[in-house]
């Protein structure tokens, strides 16, 4: 396991941004999985800024998001598609066929899950997957007790996120919300993973993820078994670890 602890948030964003840019520079045809949320927002904006100042070739790089909210308009500002476009994809000028996202609306999500997964396979599989970490240990929308062998599927969100999205989109309680997510198996098949977590609110789950047992109760604990996963933390997120890193 490679654990990197940065001295502050700025360094955290900087390291993450350069890990992603480095992957693109090393392998222009790379397939790069992104993740949305508060943790990744600034690193995306930083990549955009670096690109504007010193453009690099992204014309053959495929980008995708690890998950997507379902049953909301794609233009909703909390949809992963729109967040990634606003933070990064549009600034980089990524062409539509190099940005792969499941739709937010569909009458056959099972088909969409398979299509999403197949498209990534056709591009040669995932080179680098960036992952945020839920405070309950979720990866993408794989909530606690999701079987480790699960492939891309339509899952539930955690209650806090669901309540926020319902409010922001005026979605009534009788209309189901969910999330398409790469399954744990797909995530574990990525050649490289960058797990990012910052802030005090993540300290407890970071400790469980890295020093606790590997269990579906903490989906992210499976990453202990990935041969090429870097855990990028700030000092607050790393504060409950018992070993000096
Ligand atoms: C959501 C996303 C996850 C992300 C997580 C972390 O649940 N579906 O992919 O990892 O949020 O969010 P934050 O960085 O805001 O804590």
Instruction: Tell me the pLDDT tens digit for each residue of 30-87.
Output: 999 999 999 999 999 999 999 999 999 999 999 999 999 999 999 999 999 999 999 9
Residue found by looking up tokens 């001295």 in the block: 7
User: Ligand 1 pocket: which of 12, 34, 39, 66 to mutate (most atoms <8 Å of CB)?
Assistant: 39
* Per-residue pLDDT, 244: 66
Alpha helices by DSSP H, listed for 30-108, are 38-53, 80-84, 90-92
Domain ranges of the chain: 2-234
Residue 96: strand, helix, or coil: helix
Closest ligand 1 atom to 179 CA: 8
- The class that CATH gives domain 2-234 is alpha beta
The answer, yes or no, to whether any atom of ligand 1 lies below 6 A from the CB of 112, is no
Rg value, the chain, Cα:
17
Q: Which residues pair with 193 in a beta bridge?
A: 129, 229
Q: In the chain, which stretches have pLDDT less than 70?
A: 244-245
Residues 138, 220: Cα–Cα separation, whole Å: 6
Nearest residue by C-alpha to atom 1 in ligand 1: 37
The answer, yes or no, to whether any atom of ligand 1 lies below 6 A from the CB of 134, is yes
The answer, yes or no, to whether any atom of ligand 1 lies below 6 A from the CB of 142, is no
Q: Is 92 exposed, middle or buried (0-12, 13-18, 19+ CB in 10 A)?
A: buried
* Per-residue pLDDT, 154: 97
Nearest residue by C-alpha to atom 9 in ligand 1: 140
Cβ 72 vs Cβ 169: under 8 Å? yes
* Per-residue pLDDT, 138: 97
Tokens of 225: 């078994």
* Per-residue pLDDT, 2: 97
Residue 53 CA, ligand 1 centroid: distance in Å: 29
């Amino acid at each position: 396991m490679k654990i990197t602890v940065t001295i502050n948030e700025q360094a955290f964003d900087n390291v993450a941004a350069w890990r992603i840019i480095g992957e693109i520079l090393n392998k222009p045809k790379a397939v790069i999985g992104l993740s949305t949320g508060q943790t990744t927002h600034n690193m995306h904006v930083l990549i955009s800024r670096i690109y504007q100042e010193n453009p690099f070739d992204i014309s053959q790089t495929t980008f995708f998001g690890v998950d997507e909210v379902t049953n909301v308009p794609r233009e909703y500002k909390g949809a992963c598609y729109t967040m990634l476009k606003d933070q990064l994809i549009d600034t980089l000028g990524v062409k539509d066929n190099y940005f792969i996202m499941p739709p937010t609306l569909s009458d056959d999500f099972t088909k969409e899950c398979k299509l999403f997964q197949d498209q990534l396979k056709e591009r040669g599989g995932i080179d680098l997957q960036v992952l945020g970490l839920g405070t309950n240990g979720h990866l993408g929308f794989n909530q606690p007790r999701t079987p480790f062998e699960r492939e891309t599927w339509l899952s539930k969100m955690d209650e806090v996120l669901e309540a926020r999205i319902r409010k922001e989109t005026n979605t009534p309680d009788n209309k189901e919300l969910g999330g398409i997510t790469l399954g744990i198996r797909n995530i574990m098949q990525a050649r490289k993973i960058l797990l990012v977590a910052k802030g005090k609110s993540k300290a407890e789950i970071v400790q469980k993820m890295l020093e606790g047992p590997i269990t579906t109760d903490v989906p992210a604990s499976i990453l202990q078994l990935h041969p090429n996963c870097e855990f990028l933390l700030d000092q607050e997120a790393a504060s409950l670890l018992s070993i000096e890193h």
